[in-house]
Structure 1
Amino acid sequence: MPSMSYINAVTLSSLLRNRIFLSSINQIKQTHLQILIHGFLPNVTLQTDLLLAYSKCRYLEDAQRVFDKMTDRNMHSWNILISSYVQNSLYRESLRIFHQFLKLGFRPDHFTFPSVYKACTGIGELSCFGCSLHSLVIKLGFNSHVIVGSSILDFYAKGGILVDAGKMFAEMTLRDTVVWNAMISGFTRAGLSIEALACLRDMQREGMKMDSRTIPSILSACGREGDLMRGKEVHGQVVKSIEFKKDVAIGNSLIDMYAKCGCLDISQKVFDNMSHFNLVTWTTLISCHGVHGKGEQSLLLFEKMRGYGFLPNSITFTAVLASCSHSGLINQGKEIFDFMSTEYGIEPCLQHYACMVDLLGRSGCLEEALELIKKIPQVAPPSVWGALLGACRIHKNIVIGEIAASQLFELEPGNSSNYIALCSIYESVGREDGISRIRLTMRELGLVKTPGCSSIIIKGRVRSFYQGDMSHRRTKIVCETLDRIIRRMMLPGVVG
């Protein structure tokens, strides 16, 4: 602290800005005290510097007190407070401040909108407000501003409003990597993997390079589509980059992608070559082994993870229980279900109950599965009753099957698959009266069986065929056509 005789408002302002860089809360509070002692308040510059300093150190209560005492608030001070709440995931508080801001007649600028849209995205239930806010952006002339536009695009993409996201994307004249990533992740999150991969091709065609945010989304899309070739291409780019090789999120995505493409051995190799891993890494690998029916290996990985000092969370237990279910490890599943609460204090959630019902049901313990559902502290969702109904279908249990089906008819009155599953149980035991009754109910409700669908990938493009609508002759024609295409693609010098 400088000599008392040389202290003035400019000196203290300079000190505060240095403290912001150092993030030293004690020194910030000392400077704040000097400001009060020397009577430099109210001073909008000093108060704004204090507000920013406290916000940067995440002392939001102090920041709010400084803001509340400001008699002359400028745009910068409002933006600092709105942004600081967003950065600390206090989205509703941020929007509360923004509401006060609008009521006082202030006009948002290009610094305000990105923070507000992040708050809307964080809450996830303000699509109407975000859309109406877009009208204000256009009215004030900020629609073409790249940062504002990126925030709006990200809001639409993460909210699943992909039509509006696409329009916003098409209207943007400047597209940086952030913009492309928002669009790619939006497609991936919505399950539109083909569109995500096409977006990547367009991005690369415009000379943009993938970064650490692009790669996990693309690998997720590759895994969902089973596009092993594109996944390996992305992996090749990861191997060439020291930065990407050390990225744990990318490593986790590679493990997941290879497993979904049927290459569990490569998933294991990726894990073995990772220099850093976290709980998500272990959980992903456990889940991958479980999906491939290697429940014993999943349990060994779970024990190994605990040996390394990682504490499992709710998602980890879901992966372990699902692995037990896929492999029929009923005793191990029961043991894990019990000690997740006794040893780790994690109360079972709906996903855990669904896994246990599936495990018990697959093993034929249908009465025990039904009793477990009755113990769920809230209303059991369709996924839980659906698991029980599926098990009854396997074991031809009409009594419990009717109980599960009746619950599903109430929860999902328009889902034809539940009626078909019960009809299948009746058919397996020769109950013609039950079959007739279900078919009549389906006709009265206007429900029809959804035709089965299969797909293949040809040079990155998906072709789907609805088996229920195709005659034998048409199936034969399609197969012959595909054979000709594949043979042509395999000829030397031919590019598909």
Structure 2
Amino acid sequence: MPYQSTAASLSCILRKCVDKWSISRAKQAHAHVLITGLFHNVTLQTDLLLAYSKSGFLQYARNMFDIMPQRNMHSWNIMISSYVQSSMFHDCFCVCSEFLKMGLHPDHYTLPPVFKACAATGDFSLGLILHTWVVRLGLEGYVVLGSSVLDFYVKCGHLTDAKQVFDGMLWRDCIVWNSMISGFGRAGFYVEALNLFREMLEEGVEIDSMSIPSILNACGREGDVMKGKEIHGRVVKIVLFDSDVAIGNSLIDMYSKCGCLCNSEKVFWKMKEWNLVTWTTMISCYGVHGRGNESLSLFDKMRDCGFEPNSVTLTAVLASCSHSGLVDEGRQIFNSIGSVYAIEHSEEHYACAVDLLGRMGCLEEAFGLIRDMKSVSTASVWGALLAGCMMHKNVEIGEIAARHLFELEPRNSSNYIALSSIYDSLGMWSGVSRTRSLMRKLGLVKTPGCSWITIRGELHKFYQGDFKLHEISRILMMLIDDDY
């Protein structure tokens, strides 16, 4: 066979090696390359590197990379991208360092995975340097690279910088909008996330299955059930609800956070497919609304359907028992975590169990549970115990819990306030004075509380005099009947 035909055939074979099952074919092609004396062919070298990388055998890929007498830009990009895809960020940075020492300049294929590595490792300084490279090399116009820069700033929590990059982008696709919306949502800026979503629709960008969960999360956190229902309507129109489990899970969570538990139930039972997250979300929703028995019943049904709980599911069940005061059931669940499900007790499991026992006044048992912990007790566990002591005015155990919390969270004023409240309820004024003096010494002040509720626009007419007083009851009944 002529040289060109052999090389072309081997190259075609190697480019079809895209998964771990292709490794045997890649090795055979590699052997043929060596036998036929074609190893000096740069294209075949790069194809071998790509085949090993796509097959997931990065050590083979790295060995191939190291012995390559010539490395083109494509080979460097393959190695960098492969390490990032396998979450081997340190190796990615090592290759990048070697790349720069060779005097090479990154291109629009090199930089996106490196930005991803910077975001994953929290290396903000390196990310800033890379952004400088993007500007210096005039690469801002590449959409994928611009999205990577934006995503880096978002994941590092620098939303102001992310917004500047976002505003400067000439073309913004759905991925860019999703990144901004989810970033603001994760940071707790739910109003801003909803405003971005509104702007996205105004620009004519179509929503997709990736953007909907982030928007629904923002609706739930903000308590904006009207906007949540609007999104739900859009989902139904584009026939995503029945087929996308993640969207169904987000709808369940959103309605629950907005106080519409019956709507969460409707979504749950209408879903054609459930996964473990679906069951866990619905169990948690029942628990948050104080319906512990329904939560336990659903937990049993989940197991009957063949789903085995994980650590998060068991935390949701324990929290449900805590919110409903189901002590015996909670004890049984807690004890079964290790014995039945072979899962190691986590900090969250202990915190839920201590909270349950503390609420019901079983403070000695809760304290004993903490002392039996294999790992070091955390602030969430001691905080649950202190809350129980404050509820039942137990100063002895309360002082122990507070002392641990003062060491773990010296700047958390709520711990000092809780201990002071215990002293105050028992008339122990010297303890109150001592705690407040300590707070003043540390420069701590009590955080003022606040609450709010969003009510339909119809009520605004009442404030303008358009409604009679007797009509208020009708509006409120309408809100209640509509599960608001």
Does the pair score TM above 0.5?
Answer: yes
User: Cα distance, 1:327 vs. partner?
Assistant: 1.1
Q: In 2 relative to 1, CA 65–405 (structure 1 residues): closer, same or farther, beyond 3 Å? A: same
Q: In 2 relative to 1, CA 5–218 (structure 1 residues): closer, same or farther, beyond 3 Å? A: closer
**Aligned 8 A contact 1:23 1:56 in 2:** no
Secondary structure class of the residue paired with 2:454: strand
User: Cα distance, 1:59 vs. partner?
Assistant: 2.2
Paired with 2:465 and 2:422, the residues of 1 have a C-alpha distance of 41
Tell me the C-alpha RMSD between the 2 structures. Answer: 2.3
**Aligned 8 A contact 1:212 1:244 in 2:** no
**Aligned 8 A contact 2:20 2:54 in 1:** no
Which residue of 76, 81, 89 corresponds with 1:83?
A: 81
Q: In 2 relative to 1, CA 245–391 (structure 1 residues): closer, same or farther, beyond 3 Å? A: same
| Residue 476 of structure 1: aligned partner | none
| Residue 252 of structure 2: aligned partner | 255
| Residue 158 of structure 2: aligned partner | 161
Which residue of 304, 308, 317 corresponds with 1:307?
A: 304
**Aligned 8 A contact 2:367 2:385 in 1:** yes
**Aligned 8 A contact 2:13 2:29 in 1:** yes
Matches within 5 A, 1:217-228: 217-228=214-225
Which residue of 52, 55, 70 corresponds with 2:50?
A: 52
Q: In 2 relative to 1, CA 192–487 (structure 1 residues): closer, same or farther, beyond 3 Å? A: farther
Paired with 1:404 and 1:486, the residues of 2 have a C-alpha distance of 53
- Indicate the larger mover: 330-339 or 225-234: 330-339
- Indicate the larger mover: 15-24 or 389-398: 15-24
| Residue 242 of structure 2: aligned partner | 245
| Residue 64 of structure 1: aligned partner | 62
Secondary structure class of the residue paired with 1:455: coil
Q: Deviations over 1:111-153 (max 9, x none)?
A: 0111111122223x22222223222222222233221111111
Matches within 5 A, 1:394-409: 394-409=391-406
| Residue 472 of structure 1: aligned partner | none
**Aligned 8 A contact 1:405 1:418 in 2:** yes
Paired with 2:464 and 2:155, the residues of 1 have a C-alpha distance of 38
Matched, 1:12 2:10: yes
| Residue 173 of structure 1: aligned partner | 170
Which residue of 147, 151, 155 corresponds with 2:148?
A: 151
Matches within 5 A, 1:310-349: 310-349=307-346
Amino acid at match of 1:185: S
- Indicate the larger mover: 336-345 or 362-371: 336-345
Paired with 1:75 and 1:238, the residues of 2 have a C-alpha distance of 43
Q: Deviations over 1:329-352 (max 9, x none)?
A: 122222222222222221111111
| Residue 295 of structure 1: aligned partner | 292
Paired with 1:8 and 1:390, the residues of 2 have a C-alpha distance of 75
Paired with 1:6 and 1:439, the residues of 2 have a C-alpha distance of 85
Paired with 2:429 and 2:355, the residues of 1 have a C-alpha distance of 28
Q: For structure 2, which runs of at least 5 residues remain unmatched after alignment?
A: 473-484
Which residue of 263, 268, 271 corresponds with 1:271?
A: 268
Which residue of 437, 443, 446 corresponds with 2:434?
A: 437
Q: For structure 1, which runs of at least 5 residues remain unmatched after alignment?
A: 461-479, 492-496
Matches within 5 A, 1:123-162: 123=121, 125-162=122-159
- Indicate the larger mover: 21-30 or 439-448: 21-30
User: Cα distance, 1:317 vs. partner?
Assistant: 1.2
Which residue of 219, 228, 231 corresponds with 1:231?
A: 228
User: Cα distance, 1:25 vs. partner?
Assistant: 3.0
Amino acid at match of 1:254: L
Matches within 5 A, 1:386-397: 386-397=383-394
Paired with 1:442 and 1:400, the residues of 2 have a C-alpha distance of 21
| Residue 475 of structure 2: aligned partner | none
Q: In 2 relative to 1, CA 100–311 (structure 1 residues): closer, same or farther, beyond 3 Å? A: farther
Paired with 2:453 and 2:18, the residues of 1 have a C-alpha distance of 56
Q: Deviations over 1:407-437 (max 9, x none)?
A: 1112222222111111111111111111122
**Aligned 8 A contact 2:19 2:55 in 1:** no
Matched, 1:484 2:463: yes
User: Cα distance, 1:61 vs. partner?
Assistant: 2.1
Paired with 1:13 and 1:163, the residues of 2 have a C-alpha distance of 47
Paired with 1:51 and 1:146, the residues of 2 have a C-alpha distance of 27
| Residue 92 of structure 1: aligned partner | 90
**Aligned 8 A contact 1:121 1:155 in 2:** yes
**Aligned 8 A contact 1:238 1:245 in 2:** no
Paired with 1:278 and 1:365, the residues of 2 have a C-alpha distance of 36
User: Cα distance, 1:100 vs. partner?
Assistant: 2.2
Paired with 1:167 and 1:405, the residues of 2 have a C-alpha distance of 44
Paired with 1:403 and 1:70, the residues of 2 have a C-alpha distance of 64
**Aligned 8 A contact 2:17 2:54 in 1:** no
| Residue 206 of structure 2: aligned partner | 209
- Indicate the larger mover: 436-445 or 267-276: 436-445
Q: Deviations over 1:262-282 (max 9, x none)?
A: 111111111111111211111
| Residue 409 of structure 2: aligned partner | 412
Matched, 1:376 2:373: yes
Q: In 2 relative to 1, CA 391–21 (structure 1 residues): closer, same or farther, beyond 3 Å? A: closer
Paired with 2:383 and 2:460, the residues of 1 have a C-alpha distance of 39
| Residue 422 of structure 1: aligned partner | 419
Q: Give me the TM-score of the superposition, normalised by structure 1.
A: 0.89
Amino acid at match of 1:204: L
Secondary structure class of the residue paired with 2:273: coil
Amino acid at match of 2:209: S
Amino acid at match of 2:446: K
Paired with 1:6 and 1:152, the residues of 2 have a C-alpha distance of 41
Secondary structure class of the residue paired with 2:452: strand
Secondary structure class of the residue paired with 1:344: coil
Amino acid at match of 2:63: R
Paired with 1:456 and 1:243, the residues of 2 have a C-alpha distance of 31
User: Cα distance, 1:23 vs. partner?
Assistant: 6.6
Paired with 1:221 and 1:46, the residues of 2 have a C-alpha distance of 50
**Aligned 8 A contact 2:20 2:56 in 1:** no
| Residue 494 of structure 1: aligned partner | none
| Residue 43 of structure 1: aligned partner | 41
- Aligned-pair identity in percent equals 57
- Indicate the larger mover: 109-118 or 364-373: 364-373
Q: In 2 relative to 1, CA 296–206 (structure 1 residues): closer, same or farther, beyond 3 Å? A: same
Paired with 2:348 and 2:61, the residues of 1 have a C-alpha distance of 40
- Indicate the larger mover: 7-16 or 105-114: 7-16
